[in-house]
Amino acid sequence: MPYLRGWKTDTTGAALRILIETIVALFLAAAAAAQPAGSAYLGKPRPHGVPGRVVSLAPNLTEIVFAIGAGERLVGVTRFDDYPEQVKKLPRVGGFVDPSVEGIMALEPQLVICVPNPGGRDRLDVITRLGVPVLVLPSYTLDNIYGAIERLGVVFEKEEGARKLVAKMRARIAGIRTRVAGRPRPRVILVYGHRPLVVAGRGSFADTLLTIAGGQNLLGDSRVRYPSVPIEALIKLAPDVIIDASSGGKDAEMSTSEVRRGWSRWKVVPAVKNGRVHALNSSLFFRPGPRIVDGLARLSRILHPEPTADR
């Protein structure tokens, strides 16, 4: 499969590992589509009262717990958690697809929260058999995010804070939709990785966000959510804007400056020629949690840089 030649990439390196886990856990690949539409507990264990010791196996859920005012109850997170600042002091218990059962149980949790994850289901089943409740919270759509916030509000008896957070998010997103309504939609490609070149397709979470922000996803008619495409095909698509989310995260293989230098080779692409290649932090723009509204607002300004865009 052709890719952006000359870039610093390694199929066995950290960048590919982050790409795979992001697609599996944050954006919920096709295997997760069979999961229930709403949140659900695995197995029979249930928490008794408000859990005081909680392990989060998804960075977006970690952010939600802090956003509703229950962050002090978290005792463990994944190695990919990086926000808010308080999580840096918490023990790490593995990743999305390889959570450490031993590490989790050593923290004596009263609840484990996670997103649907076909890769780690067997380990979660072990945890439930050991008597620890495991709450699965889908995060594939905006409605899923709202539902996760409200469900965790109930779990931690923070219902009012959760309702206010959801209302604020809905209002800001409605404002973004209104401000970009009727504007010409730039033709956009959103890139996750470069070997092969992996982009956001139809039905992906990022596809939804691009639409809300006022863009037209050039892979919006793809048959799969995360297609890989040769660079020749991308050149033929001639995007007006390229959003590159491959450099986000502390273990990313490339820096944002390296991403920009890599794209600078392809002057024939309108986005490159006109200086509309944007290397973004994927954790802000595409992590399905409370900060998604901040990412959407900034994305709308990128696609529609007029002074009237959402601030």
- Sketch the domain layout of the chain as residue ranges: 14-26+182-303, 30-176
pLDDT of residue 117: 77
- Interval 42-62 mean pLDDT: 96
Q: Tell me: the pLDDT tens digits for 80-114?
A: 999 999 999 999 999 888 999 999 999 999 999 99
Q: Tell me: the pLDDT tens digits for 179-224?
A: 999 999 999 999 988 878 899 999 888 999 999 999 999 999 998 8
Q: Which has the higher per-residue pLDDT, 9 or 303? A: 303
CATH architecture of 30-176: 3-Layer(aba) Sandwich (3.40)
Q: At a CB cut-off of 8 Å and minimum separation 6, what does 63 contact? A: 83, 84, 287, 289, 290, 291
**Range in 23-32, 50-59, 132-141, 287-296 with the lowest mean pLDDT:** 23-32
pLDDT of residue 248: 62
- Interval 220-245 mean pLDDT: 93
Residue 29 φ/ψ, nearest 5 degrees: -65, 180
How confident is the prediction for the chain on average, in pLDDT? 85
Rounded Cα gap, residues 28 and 88, in angstroms? 25
- CATH fold match for the domains 14-26+182-303 and 30-176: yes
Please check the confidence at residue 1 and state whether its pLDDT lies above 60.
no
Phi-psi region of 181 (alpha: psi -120 to 50; beta: other; left: phi over 0): beta
Residue 198 φ/ψ, nearest 5 degrees: -110, 130
pLDDT of residue 251: 57
Please check the confidence at residue 130 and state whether its pLDDT lies above 50.
yes
The CATH code of the domain at 14-26+182-303 is: 3.40.50.1980
Residue 285's pLDDT band, with cuts at 50, 70 and 90, is confident
Contact 92, 79 (CB under 8 A): yes
- Give the residue from 82, 107, 112, 114 showing the smallest Cα distance to 18: 82
Indicate the SS3 state at residue 221. coil
Contact 299, 209 (CB under 8 A): yes
- Interval 58-71 mean pLDDT: 97
- Peptide bond preceding 59 in cis form (omega within 30 of 0): no
- Interval 245-262 mean pLDDT: 74
Please check the confidence at residue 17 and state whether its pLDDT lies above 90.
no
Please check the confidence at residue 156 and state whether its pLDDT lies above 60.
yes
Strand partners, 147: none
